[in-house]
Amino acid sequence: MTPTVGDERRLIAARVALTQQIDRGGVVLSARLAGAFLNVPRHPFVPVFYRRHGERFLPWRGSDGDAQAWLDAVYADDSLLTEVAGVHAEDAAPEGLSGVPTSSSTAPSLMADMLDALDVHEGHEVYEAGTGTGYNAGLLCFLAGDRHVTTVDRTGALTDRARPRLGSVGFCPLVVHGDAARDFPGDATYDRIIATASVRRVPPAWLARLRPGGLMVVPLKGALAGGMVARLTKLPDGTAAGHVLHSPAAFMPLRSGPEQPAPSPLVPDGPSTQAEVSARVLDDWAFSFFAELHLPPNLVRTFGTNDDGVHVTTLHDPADGSTARVEDGPEGPPQLMSGGPRDLWGPVESAYRRWLELRCPRREWFRIEVTPTEQSLRYTAPDGRVHRWTTAGPAGGWREGRA
């Protein structure tokens, strides 16, 4: 325990308050899951995290000023940013930095929702893809027993920090520095697999290593926030099937395979036309998961408000250089500028019309099926018609087809 944080009573009270906050929300905690949040502290795993100050992110430690405010932030039901532009909060200079967040400690209520779906019991062999801070691994250790938990992360600095922190709260799981999409100890198989980073498609290795009857909980997301979390059961024929949880999930992408340089899109600047819909529809998490089913697999999205108060969204496909730029001003209709060989904004407008025609289906109304070569989503409309989208290959895009 960090002495400046306070005495043990305050730490216990903080865990109790967090557990009550989760239980009052959208997650009904089982006794065992409530016990995990009551018994596994969060603060040892996030001794430093970032808070936003204007355009910069400043590292925040328990020793920085108001220790009680820091403790309240740690035990709030919020995500905590732990890495920005590849710089971990513990390594950041006091003046902080600007950039794009690259790692975080997930909001506890979402962790609880996913752990509830995973249905972990004592003795289950569990594989976690994405160690991160180690906090979720600690909860898994409480539920399954630490001898049964394997957690993997590509960033050595994270696994090096998580290992002793897990030990400090009494857990000694197998912590592996490696590619969580493909690195497994020997020929091990698992009863449960959970990912704490998003993928576009369930890696075939996870399906192969999951035992028949086992459960897998995986965030699926592309360029847009508000992706989906799939809960899958391994079937005797080697495939898996299940459904999508109700909670949206904006997890950071799982880093796997060779590192790819960030693309630099050419922003179109020329004659504009009126867009049919505002680019702000992509900020609607109720719609964004559906929009992903109609967009290229490697699409890059940037957005923000410029000095003139105009909300600017840019879509870029590095595969062929196609780009779309939509400007939503305080007055008038949204303006569209396009570049490259393909129209990137038309599919967004088509997807939005389709979503409205289907009466805005929620993510939890979709079923999902995964095979070693393909994954598919199915939605059954009230009229009985089944709509199906499939994707194949590690980076394949979704395609709508007949069910």
297 confidence band (pLDDT: 50, 70, 90): confident
Burial of 354 (0-12, 13-18, 19+ CB in 10 A): middle
Q: Is residue 179 scored above 60 in pLDDT?
A: yes
Residue 48 lies in a domain: yes
**Residue range 194-222: average pLDDT?**
95
Residue 397 lies in a domain: no
Residue 285 lies in a domain: no
Q: How far is Cα 377 from Cα 369, in angstroms, rounded to an integer?
A: 7
Q: Is residue 394 scored above 70 in pLDDT?
A: no
Q: What is the pLDDT of residue 288?
A: 93
**Residue range 228-233: average pLDDT?**
97
Q: Is residue 257 scored above 70 in pLDDT?
A: no
Percentage of the chain beyond pLDDT 70 is 93
63 confidence band (pLDDT: 50, 70, 90): confident
Q: Is residue 93 scored above 60 in pLDDT?
A: yes
The domain tally of the chain equals 1
Least confident of 256-270, 303-317, 362-376: 256-270
Q: How far is Cα 370 from Cα 391, in angstroms, rounded to an integer?
A: 10
User: Do residues 46 and 133 lie in contact, with contact meaning Cβ atoms separated by under 8 Å?
Assistant: yes
**Could you tell me the residue range of the domain that residue 22 belongs to?**
1-27+38-104
Evaluated on CA atoms 64, 95, 132, 79, the torsion sign reads positive
Q: Is residue 306 scored above 90 in pLDDT?
A: no
**Residue range 170-191: average pLDDT?**
95
**Residue range 11-25: average pLDDT?**
92
Alpha carbon 246 to its chain centroid, in Å, reads 14
**Residue range 44-54: average pLDDT?**
93
Q: What is the pLDDT of residue 243?
A: 97
Q: What is the pLDDT of residue 259?
A: 58
Q: Tens of pLDDT along 337-383?
A: 998 999 999 999 999 999 999 999 999 999 999 999 999 999 999 99
**Residue range 109-121: average pLDDT?**
96
Which residues are bridge partners to 61 per DSSP? 48
User: Do residues 226 and 152 lie in contact, with contact meaning Cβ atoms separated by under 8 Å?
Assistant: no
| CA nearest neighbour of 216 among 77, 388, 375 | 375
User: Do residues 40 and 135 lie in contact, with contact meaning Cβ atoms separated by under 8 Å?
Assistant: yes
Residue 42 lies in a domain: yes
Residue 4 lies in a domain: yes
* 255 token code pair: 């880093």
Residue 154 lies in a domain: no
Hey, what amino acid is at 313?
Answer: T
Q: Tell me the average pLDDT of the chain.
A: 91
Q: How far is Cα 184 from Cα 187, in angstroms, rounded to an integer?
A: 7
**Residue range 135-140: average pLDDT?**
98
Q: What is the pLDDT of residue 3?
A: 44
Residue 300 lies in a domain: no
Q: How far is Cα 178 from Cα 151, in angstroms, rounded to an integer?
A: 10
**Residue range 25-29: average pLDDT?**
81
Q: How far is Cα 218 from Cα 202, in angstroms, rounded to an integer?
A: 7
Full 3-state SS string of the chain: CCHHHCCHHHHHHHHHHHHHHHHHCCCCCCHHHHHHHHHCCCHHHCCEEEEEECCEEEEEECCCCCHHHHHHHHCCCCCEEEEECCEEHHHCCCCCECCCEEEEECCHHHHHHHHHHHCCCCCCCEEEECCCCCHHHHHHHHHHCHHHEEEEECCHHHHHHHHHHHHHCCCCCEEEECCCCCCCCCCCCEEEEEECCEECCCCHHHHHHEEEEEEEEEEECCCCCCEEEEEEEECCCCCEEEEECCCCECCCECCCCCCCCCCCCCCCCCCCEECCCCHHHHHCHHHHHHHHCCCCCCCEEEEEECCCCCEEEEEEECCCCEEEEEEECCCCCCEEEEECCCCCHHHHHHHHHHHHHCCCCCHHHEEEEECCCEEEEEEECCCCCEEEEEEECCCCCCEEEEC
Q: How far is Cα 10 from Cα 5, in angstroms, rounded to an integer?
A: 9
Q: What is the pLDDT of residue 313?
A: 94
Q: Is residue 4 scored above 60 in pLDDT?
A: no
5 confidence band (pLDDT: 50, 70, 90): very low
Residue 94 lies in a domain: yes
Q: Is residue 143 scored above 50 in pLDDT?
A: yes
Enter the pTM of the model: 0.92
**Residue range 115-131: average pLDDT?**
97
